[in-house]
Amino acid sequence: MLLGAHISISKGFEKAVKDALSIGANTMQFFTRNPRGGAVKALDENDIRKCSELRQRENFGPLVAHAPYTMNMATNKKETADFTKRVIREDLERLEKIGAEYLVIHPGSHMGDGVEAGIERIAALLKEVVTGDEKVMVLLETMAGMGSEVGYTFEQLYDIMEKTGIPHAFGVCIDTCHLYCAGYDIQDRLNEVLEEFDRILGLDKLKAVHLNDSKFGLASRKDRHANLGEGLLGLEAIERVINHPAIKDRPFLLETPGGMENYKKEIEILKRMKDNG
Ligand SMILES: [Zn+2]
């Protein structure tokens, strides 16, 4: 089973993989750059080589990168669109060198212009920056539907990918907190939700799972992560998610509050659930 968490890369990639291993993880997520945006440090080739060697030695799973929050693919502002395109191009190039498998991106916010306009802008922007020949796959994340967020239904994600003209180039990262808050009842109707995902997107599109409990309830359209078992989803729902036959081999990544100590505790809980499941 692939279990991991969101880890800091501020001391390099080899150190990040070591940190992940130290909390019992065998996969990880990291921000490609400061989540609030900003410049990136030059890549250290020595560090990348050591990171790859360590991953091989430890049979470490996928590296999942997360794009910064400051970009917005659905923006109606040219400067933001230009910034977003530059970040995605740079990040895809860097991630290929690092050997990362996925780049997770929030579809974006339509800024009051409506979901349809947002979908059009996201697809047009992706078409400019993704060719479909990349080794790194862009994953669109399922959103809670807060404010003017786009991408909180499976249909919206399908439309975005179709409109790029190269849907094979994209995958989806689901987030248990976002799904629940968007109105997908993964607590009581996990089978039905996954069947719906399969019908609309195809389960082969589902490449990664953000594992979070939720401070808010079903269809609340709010996005606040809680520690596993301390939110409204609860441990039993989480247990069913990680053991569901259709998705149990995907990388499960914690984005819960509390830092490394907490991740370690939650990964232990997940491993116990796995043994029982
Ligand atoms: Zn995210």
Q: What is the DSSP string of 51-97?
A: HHHHHHHHT---EEEE--TT--TT-S-HHHHHHHHHHHHHHHHHHHH
198 CA to centre of ligand 1 in angstroms: 21
pTM, two decimal places: 0.97
Q: What are 171-218's pLDDT values in tens digits?
A: 999 999 999 999 999 999 999 999 999 999 999 999 999 999 999 999
- Please check the confidence at residue 94 and state whether its pLDDT lies above 60: yes
pLDDT at residue 129 greater than cutoff 90: yes
Instruction: Tell me the CA–centroid distance for residue 129 and ligand 1, in Å.
Output: 20
Length of the chain: 277
pLDDT bucket at 276, cuts 50 / 70 / 90: low
Q: How far is the CA of 107 from the centre of ligand 1 (A)?
A: 10
Could you tell me the two tokens for 37?
Answer: 């945006």
Identity of residue 245:
P
Half-sphere exposure for 145 (CA within 13 Å, toward CB): 18
Tell me the CA–centroid distance for residue 43 and ligand 1, in Å.
23
| Arithmetic mean of pLDDT over the chain | 96
Spacing, Cα 79 to ligand 1 middle (Å): 22
| CA 14 to centroid of ligand 1, rounded, Å | 23
Show the domains of the chain with their CATH numbers: 3-276 (3.20.20.150)
Cβ atoms of 110 and 77 within 8 Å: the answer is no
* Residue 157's pLDDT band (cuts 50, 70, 90): very high
Q: What is the pLDDT of residues 250-262, one digit of tens each?
A: 999 999 999 999 9
| Centre of ligand 1 from the C-alpha of residue 165, in Å | 24
Q: How far is the CA of 272 from the centre of ligand 1 (A)?
A: 26
**Strands 206-211, 27-31: pairing kind:** unpaired
CA of 66 to the centre of ligand 1 (A): 7
Separation of CA 179 and ligand 1 centre (Å):
12
Compute the distance from residue 21 Cα to the ligand 1 centre, in Å. 22
Tell whether the model's pLDDT for residue 228 goes beyond 50: yes
